[in-house]
Structure 1
């Protein structure tokens, strides 16, 4: 059995960025639309890592009207199914 070419589409990114690189950027600590397809949130510094900030980017057409938890749960569920398909194909091979 051959694995089908499965291209996973990127839907969620979490990056920690040194605060010195973001010093001149003013941003709200809430989800904001970036363009028609992506939204982002830049969190304030946290005590556990005071000199870096967390940047979250998510694929979303209208972030203000979508339920973020549901959106993330769907992404995680989809990724788990893809992993199970790959593992199942490996066992059958």
Structure 2
């Protein structure tokens, strides 16, 4: 569900606020459009994020974390803390 290099980074950004595709791409350096698209589709398919399309020209699409996705927030925060502790211990 949250495997891979980019999904935790995407979720970190979406835990902060609802975002559009371009905002996510700017917030996550070095992620390609294709990879971001694929990862967003997988997260949506797993029910972790939702995608809302607005009927405007040009189309406006926003991504937000679902209730299920919010359940992963404390887990990812704990992993982030462990990574920080590991980095401090290896200085």
- Alignment TM class, shorter chain as reference: 0.3 to 0.5
Whichever of the two has the greater Rg, that structure is 1
TM-score with structure 1 length normalisation? 0.37
The structure richer in strand per residue is 1
Higher fraction of helix: 2
TM-score (norm 2): 0.38
